[in-house]
Amino acid sequence: MNILLIGVQGSGKGTQAKLLSKKLNLPHISSGELFRAHIDNKTELGIIADSFINRGHLVADEYVYDMVEAELKKYPNGFILDGFPRTVPQEKFLMEHYKIDYVFWLELDDDESFRRISSRFHCSKCDSDYNLLYKKPVKAGICDSCGGKLIQRRDDTPEYILKRLEKFHQKTRNVFMKSDGSYLLKEIDASRSIEEIHQQIINCIKDN
C-alpha cells in the first residue's frame, strides 16, 4: 500500500505519517528529513540542496527525484510518503513510477500554519520536538528530557515561513487536486486534533 500525505507546513502531515506508519507497519519517508540528513552529512546532494534551501527555494526536481527514488526503491511493499510531490512535474514523475493508493490532503489556512511553525522548537542536544502551542517544555527554553538548549530550525524564522507559504501556493497547491480514479483522494481538515485526524485517515483506509 502506497500512501501520500500532502499539506502546508504545520498541517501535521509528518505527525500523521508517523502515526500511520506505526499503525499500518509501513515505512515513513519524509523528503524534508531525507534532505536534512543529506545536508547534515554534507553529501554531494546535501550541499546542493542546502544552497537551494538557503535561498528559500524548493530544491530543483532532478535532485529531489534522485533522492526520493533511491529511498523508495528500498520499500517495494509499500510506504507512507510526506513532503513529496511538491510540484506538478514531481507528481507526474511519481505517478509514472509508482502505483499510489491513497492521497490525503491536509488543509490548513496560512495564519494557523504560520502560528504553528513559528512556535516550533527542538532540542539542540537530543533533537526532541517541542511546540509552544501544545507541547511546551516545563522550563522555558530548556529540554525536558536532557536539559539541552531549545532552538528553532534555521528555516522556521518568520521570513522563511512566509517564503515557504508563498512557494506552497505557487507550486504545491496544484498537486493532486483531482484524482484520475487510480487512487483515493481525501481532503482532511487539519485544524482538528491529531487523534481525530488519525482516526479519519484510518477509517477512510478501512472503508476502501
Give the footprint of Zn ion on this chain (CB under 5 A): 123, 125-126, 128, 143, 145-146, 148
User: CB 196 → Zn ion: shortest distance, Å?
Assistant: 29
Between residues 37 and 146, which has the closer beta carbon with respect to Zn ion?
A: 146
Question: How far apart are CB 14 and Zn ion at their closest, in Å?
Answer: 19
Closest CB to Zn ion among residues 149, 169: 149
d(CA 135, CA 138): 9
In the numeric block, the cell 514531481 is attached to 90
Q: Which of 92, 135, 136, 153 is catalytic?
A: 153
- Residue 145 class from Cβ within 10 Å (0-12 exposed, 13-18 middle, 19+ buried)? exposed
Is 164 among the catalytic positions? yes
> Is 120 in the active site?
yes
When the beta carbons of 145 and 199 are compared against Zn ion, the nearer one is 145
> Is 115 part of the annotated catalytic residue set?
no
- Of 124 and 199, CB closest to Zn ion: 124
178 is catalytic: no
Name the burial class of residue 34, with classes exposed (0-12), middle (13-18) and buried (19+) by CB atoms within 10 angstroms of its CB: buried
CB of 32 to Zn ion, least distance (A): 20
Active site amino acids? 13, 86, 120, 153, 164
